[in-house]
Amino acid sequence: MNFTIMRKKTLISIINIWLNNKNNIKIQTYQKYKNTTQNYIENSNIGNVYISKLNKKRIKQFFIELDENKVSKSIQKTIFYIINSALCFGYNNNYCKKIDLNDIKIGKEKTKIDILTAQEQIRIEKYLKNNINIRKICVLLCLYSGLRIGEVCGLKWKDIDFDNKTLEIKRTIQRIKNDNPNIRSKTILIESTPKSESSKRVVPIANFLVPLLKKLETNGDYYLLSNSKKMYDPRLLEYFFKNVLMKCNVKNKNFHILRHTFATRSIEAKVDIKTLSEILGHSNIDITLKLYVHPSIDLKKNSIENVVEFMYPYHKTS
């Protein structure tokens, strides 16, 4: 296939060729890109534009419209990655001209991360510690380690080192769209490795949780939450968590708020950023800093007063 022929193709054609040539990605990542392409690009005002007529101005306008339609920054980043990668692939294979998208800004300014208040957290903890069971323990585990929902659903008893009071993140469970025509269900559960190399990690277990887990320990090959070799659906844990919130008179929030709450509380408790970053499984501390470190005006005032106090002896002797 040469450039002359490809000029008659649309952007969506280039994206599909790029996507079908990505052989080294996980099935859930492939489906994420495929679904995003179908939902946001395929029928958009640039999806069916001929590649020969596509330019940076049209792509910029597309992202402005996504912003106006309140498409989340996270989804916009995925859309940008798909378009930019597909265009780079097309250029490198002489399918299309080069379009540099490096200066396109994605999404609006980041909004403040939602977390549980200290009072809400205390109410939830009190409820969870009463008539304890494995689901309650796993919610507490996420609240005191920042595990993602797929990671805690993927935990097996053999992943826990009771002697060292740690657990190892080796796998994650997700529900994805089913593309197998031989299976009637629209979605299926899959087990895969964590989302990145840094997500494969050893995480300390809070001391108060160790005996609670030990008391319920069973077969090493069993998942904690299903107490069997059958995968546990993250949606079930999400439903359970929402029920906990309702019983604790806390406004409805998604399960991921436990991760945000743990990270924020760690910052408040002056946990070292590098340590926190590794516990969360971030690839670098910049991600942790951007997400969770937002100094308050009081902290800024204290910082200035600390500088004044530091300089005071010099003023006194001058």
Average pLDDT of the residues of the chain: 87
What is the residue range of 49's domain?
3-92
Q: How many domains does the chain have?
A: 2
Same structural domain for residues 12 and 143?
no
The residue with greater pLDDT, 1 or 295, is: 295
261-287 per-position pLDDT tens digit: 999 899 888 888 899 999 999 988 888
C-alpha span between 156 and 211 (Å, rounded)? 17
Q: Are residues 11 and 130 both part of a single domain?
A: no
Q: What digits encode the pLDDT tens for the residues 137-186?
A: 999 999 999 999 999 999 999 999 999 999 999 999 988 877 777 777 77
Is this structure's pTM higher than 0.75? no
Spatial CB neighbours of 112, under 8 Å, sequence gap ≥ 6? 294
> Structure tokens of 70?
């309140």
Determine, yes or no, domain membership for 106. no
Does 143 lie in the same domain as 65?
no
253 band by pLDDT with thresholds 50, 70 and 90: very high
For the cut 50, the answer to whether the pLDDT of residue 224 exceeds it is yes
Please say which residue of 92, 109, 126 terminates a domain.
Answer: 92
Rounded CA-CA distance 160/138 in Å is: 13
